[in-house]
Chain A
Amino acid sequence: MVVRVEFDYANARIKGMKSRLLTPPVFETLILKPDVESIIAELENTPYKEEIEKATVQFSGIKCIEVALRKDFTNAFRKILRFMEGDPAEKHIKILLSRWDIQNIKTILRGKNIHLTSAEIVECLVPAGQLDDTTLIELIKQPDVKAVIDLLATWGIEYAKPLTRNFKEYSEKRDLSVLEYAIDKFYFENALDKLSEKSYDDRILLDMITMEIDVTNIKNVLTMIRDRIDIEEAEIFLITGGQRLNIERLITMIRTGTLEGAIKFLDTTPYNFLSELPAHVFRTEKISVIEKELEKYLIKRGISRFLGDPLSIAVAVGYVWAKYNEITNIRIIARCKTADITEKEIREELIYV
C-alpha cells in the first residue's frame, strides 16, 4: 500500500528555515572582511548568532567558526528529524542524513589510519546523521581502525557489516580505500533497497541517490586511471545502480587509460560540463579540480529540488543540500582568510546557487 505523506506542516517549516539561509550579499560581506575575527563578528548578525556566541566562550579564530557551524548544521537536521518523527517521510530524511554518518565513519577511519589526534579528527566531523556527538567521540577514542569497527559491531550499528566483511582484505593490503569503497557501496545499496519506484517521494530521492552513484563512480574511474589500476581490479570498485552510467560504460572509460579520453565518454550525459575544463587539468591529472566540479554539480542539482513539488520530499532534499552548501561556503571563506587568499580567488571557490 502506498502511504500518502502530509507535507503541509513539515515543508512550511523547512521553507521557513530556508528563508534564514545566508544570501549572496551576506557572503560578499564575509568575503570583504579582513580577518577571521571580523568574520566571527559578522556571523553574530546572522542566524548563526547563538552558536557563535556559545563557541566564542571556549574557542577563538577558525576553531570557533568550525565548532559553531558544525553545531548549527547538526541542530538544523535534528530539528527536521524531530518534527518528522513518526511520519513516513522520516525514512527519507534518515536516508538523506545517513550520507553524513558514512562521511563521519570514513573520516574516523582515515584519521585512525594515519594516526591523527582525536582533536584533529573531531574538527572534520559533521554529526548530522544518526550517529550523535557522544557515539562519534567514543569511536574516536578507539586506538586503531580495528577497534573502531569492533565498537560499531558491538553497538549493533549497521555500518559495521561491510567494514567487518572487508577488514581482512584491508589488513592484507593496508589500503583504506577497500573499507571506504565497502561502506560507500553499503550506503548506496541500502538506500536503493529502501526506496521503491512506485512511490512518488521515493522516486524524488532515488533520482538524487542514483546521481550520487554516478558522481562517485566517475570520481573512482578517474582516480583509477590516474593510479593505473588494473581493469580487473578496477571493476570491483564500481557501484551499480547509477542513473546514466552503467558498469559497461564505466569500464570502457577506464580502458581509454587517459583522463581526457574517459571524459569524452561523458559527452552525451549531463556530466559533459567536465570536458569544458582547461586542458592542463587533464595533462597534470589534477583529479581534485574535476572532483570539485562534480561536487558543485551535485550541490546545484540538490538545491534545484527546492523548486520541485512543494508538497513532496523535494523541499527537504533541497534544504539539506542548500544548508550543506552554506556551511561549505562559510568554511571556504574562513579557511581562505587564514591562508591570506585574495578575495577574487575566494569568490571563484564559492558555490553560489
Chain B
Amino acid sequence: MVDWGIPIGAGIAFGLGALGTGIAQSKIGSAGAGTIAEKPEAFGLMVVLVAIPETMVILGFVVAAMMMIMLV
C-alpha cells in the first residue's frame, strides 16, 4: 500500500508557500510598478523588494524536499 501522506504534506508545504509568494509579489509588484513610474531611480530597490517574498517558496521547497528525501 502506497503511503500518500508524505508526498501530500510535501505538496502542501511547497504549494502554500508558492501561493503566499504569488499573492505577496502581485501586491509588491504593482506597487513597485507605480513607484518606478514616478521615480525610475528606485528600480534597483524595487527588484530587491519584489524578490524578498521568494524566500517563502524557497523555504517551502526545502521543507518539501527534506520530507521527500528523508522520510520516503
Contact = CB atoms under 8 A, between A and B. Distances in A.
Interface in A211-232: none
Interface in A2-57: 6, 8-13, 15-17, 19-20
B34 A8 contact: yes
A17 B28 CA distance: 18
B38 A16 contact: yes
B29 to A, nearest CB: 8
Nearest to B39: A16
Nearest to B42: A16
A13 B27 contact: no
Interface in B17-33: 27-28, 30-33
B35 to A, nearest CB: 5
A8 B31 contact: yes
Contacts of A15: 35, 38
B30 A8 contact: yes
B12 interface: no
Interface centre among B27, B28, B33, B34 (most CB of A within 10 A): B34
Contacts of A10: 34
B30 A13 contact: no
Interface string B38-71: 1100000000000000000000000000000000
B16 interface: no
B6 interface: no
Contacts, number: 35
Nearest to A17: B38
Contacts of B30: 6, 8-9, 12
B37 interface: yes
A17 B38 CA distance: 7
Nearest to A12: B34
B35 A16 contact: yes
B72 to A, nearest CB: 41
Contacts of B37: 13, 16
A19 B39 contact: yes
B31 A11 contact: yes
A122 to B, nearest CB: 30
B33 to A, nearest CB: 6
A12 B30 CA distance: 8
Contacts of A11: 31, 34
A12 B32 CA distance: 7
A12 B33 CA distance: 8
A13 B27 CA distance: 14
Given A8-B27, A12-B38, A16-B39, 15 more contacts: A8-B28, A8-B30, A8-B31, A9-B31, A9-B33, A10-B34, A12-B30, A12-B31, A12-B32, A12-B33, A12-B34, A13-B34, A13-B35, A15-B38, A17-B38
24 contacts: A8-B27, A8-B28, A8-B30, A8-B34, A9-B31, A9-B33, A9-B34, A10-B34, A12-B30, A12-B31, A12-B34, A12-B35, A13-B34, A13-B35, A13-B38, A15-B35, A15-B38, A16-B34, A16-B35, A16-B37, A16-B38, A17-B38, A19-B38, A19-B39
Interface of A: 6, 8-13, 15-17, 19-20
